[in-house]
C-alpha cells in the first residue's frame, strides 16, 4: 500500500530525469565560481591578447621556452599567422618524474585583424617567454585628423 | 618517447585557489611544472612566461619550496583591448620536499620564461647500496 503510493508519485517516475535535473541545478551553482579567465577564445594554441592603439595593433602571446628562431610569423592582408614548435629536450634517462605538466608540440594559429596592415614594418619581440608583435596599421586605416576651416 | 608531431592544445591558465590571503591585487596562477629526480638531485622546470629574474622569488624554508613570479604587465599608451584570451598575473606554487636539499648548491636559471631549478641532495640522503652478508 505504502510502496504503491511512493512509486506512483509523479516526481519519482523517472529517477534518471530527476538526477539530471539535480546536475543542472548543481551546475548553475558552479558557474559563478568558474575561473573568470576561462575564456580560451578560439581554443587554439597559443592564446592571444590583441589590442590596438591609434597606429598599431599589438598581439601578445605566452610562449615560454620557445626560441625566436623556432617561430614563424607571417602577415598577409588582414591576417596574422603564427606557427612553431615547442620542444622539451629529453632529460637524463635516469630521471624519475614526480610531475610532468609542461607540454611540447607543434602549433599554428591564424588571426584576422579588423583592418588592413602594413606588413613591411612588423616588429616582433620575444622576451621572458612573452611574444609581442607590433603591427602598424596600413596608412588608409589610420584615423585622420580633420581640420575645420 | 613523446610523439613529436602532437599539436599543442590551448589551455587556460590555472588560477590558484586562495591559500592564504593575497596582498597584491590581480589574479594568481599556478605555473605548469616538471619535476624529476635522479640519485643526486631534484630538478624542477617551471613555465613562467613574463617573469624576469628580478621578479622571481624562490624560497626554501624547512622542507617547503616556494616559487613566486611577479610580472610587470607591459602596456603601451592608449591601448584599447580587442581580444583577451589570457590574463597575466603573479605565479605562485609551493612544494613540500621529502629529500634533504643541500641549500648551498641550489642553482636557478631563468631563460625564455622557463625556470630550471636544480636542488642537489645532501650526501647522506643519497641512496647507498647495502650489501647483505649471509651468516
- pLDDT, residue A28, reads 62
Cβ distance B27 to A90 less than 8 Å, yes or no, reads no
ipTM value for the complex = 0.78
Residue entry with cell 613555465 = B47
What CA–CA distance (Å, rounded) separates A103 from A63? Answer: 11
B36 touches chain A (CB under 8 A): yes
Q: Let me know: does A65 contact A88? Beta carbons within 8 Å.
A: yes
What CA–CA distance (Å, rounded) separates A4 from B111? Answer: 72
Cβ distance B8 to A47 less than 8 Å, yes or no, reads no
Per-residue pLDDT of chain B (135 residues; tens, 9 = 90+): 445 567 888 888 888 776 666 667 778 899 999 999 988 889 999 999 999 999 999 998 888 899 999 988 777 778 888 888 888 889 999 999 877 888 888 999 999 999 999 999 887 766 677 778 876
- Domain of A54, in residue numbers: 48-89+104-139
Enumerate the residues of chain A whose CB falls inside 8 A of the CB of residue B14.
35
Report how many domains make up chain A: 1
Beta bridge partners of A79: A76, A112
What CA–CA distance (Å, rounded) separates A117 from A57? Answer: 9
- pLDDT, residue A37, reads 39
- Is A27 a member of any domain? no
R_g of chain A, CA atoms, integer Å = 26
> Euclidean distance between the first and final Cα of chain A, in Å?
94
Q: Let me know: does A31 contact A38? Beta carbons within 8 Å.
A: no
- Is A135 a member of any domain? yes
Q: CA nearest A110: which of A46, A25, A52, A34?
A: A46
Phi/psi of residue A25, nearest 5 degrees: -60, -45
**Percent of chain A at pLDDT exceeding 70:** 79
pTM here? 0.73
Q: A120: domain CATH number?
A: 2.60.40.790
Residue entry with cell 595593433 = A57
* Among the partner residues A92, A96, A128, nearest to B52 by beta-carbon distance: A128
- Domain ranges in chain B? 27-73+87-125
- Is A39 a member of any domain? no
- pLDDT, residue A13, reads 57
B18 touches chain A (CB under 8 A): no
- Is A58 a member of any domain? yes
Enumerate the residues of chain B whose CB falls inside 8 A of the CB of residue A101.
32-34
Strand duo B28-30 + B90-96: pairing: parallel
Q: Let me know: does B49 contact A128? Beta carbons within 8 Å.
A: yes
State which H helix or E strand residue A4 sits in. helix A2-8
- Is A99 a member of any domain? no
CATH fold of B27-73+87-125 reads Immunoglobulin-like (2.60.40)
Amino acid at each position: 500500500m505504502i510502496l504503491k503510493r511512493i512509486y506512483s508519485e509523479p516526481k519519482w517516475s523517472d529517477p534518471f530525469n530527476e538526477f539530471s535535473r539535480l546536475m543542472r541545478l548543481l551546475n548553475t551553482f558552479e558557474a559563478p565560481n568558474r575561473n573568470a579567465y576561462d575564456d580560451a577564445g578560439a581554443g587554439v594554441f597559443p592564446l592571444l591578447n590583441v589590442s590596438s592603439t591609434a597606429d598599431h595593433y599589438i598581439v601578445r602571446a605566452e610562449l615560454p621556452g620557445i626560441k625566436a628562431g623556432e617561430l614563424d610569423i607571417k602577415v598577409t592582408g588582414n591576417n596574422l599567422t603564427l606557427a612553431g614548435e615547442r620542444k622539451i629536450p629529453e632529460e637524463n634517462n635516469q630521471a624519475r618524474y614526480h610531475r610532468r605538466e609542461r607540454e611540447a608540440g607543434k602549433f599554428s594559429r591564424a588571426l584576422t585583424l579588423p583592418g588592413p596592415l602594413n606588413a613591411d614594418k612588423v616588429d616582433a619581440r620575444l622576451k621572458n617567454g612573452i611574444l609581442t608583435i607590433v603591427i602598424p596599421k596600413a596608412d588608409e586605416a589610420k584615423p585622420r585628423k580633420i581640420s575645420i576651416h | 618517447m613523446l610523439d613529436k608531431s602532437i599539436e599543442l592544445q590551448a589551455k587556460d591558465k590555472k588560477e590558484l585557489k586562495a591559500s592564504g590571503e593575497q596582498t597584491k591585487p590581480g589574479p594568481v596562477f599556478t605555473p605548469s611544472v616538471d619535476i624529476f629526480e635522479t640519485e643526486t638531485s631534484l630538478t624542477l622546470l617551471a613555465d613562467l612566461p613574463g617573469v624576469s629574474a628580478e621578479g622571481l622569488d624562490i624560497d626554501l624554508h624547512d622542507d617547503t619550496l616556494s616559487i613566486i613570479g611577479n610580472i610587470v604587465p607591459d602596456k603601451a599608451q592608449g591601448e584599447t583591448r580587442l581580444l583577451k584570451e589570457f590574463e597575466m598575473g603573479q605565479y605562485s606554487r609551493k612544494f613540500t620536499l621529502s629529500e634533504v636539499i643541500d641549500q648551498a648548491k641550489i642553482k636557478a636559471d631563468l631563460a625564455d620564461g622557463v625556470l630550471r631549478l636544480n636542488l642537489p641532495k645532501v650526501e647522506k640522503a643519497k641512496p647507498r647500496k647495502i650489501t647483505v652478508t649471509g651468516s
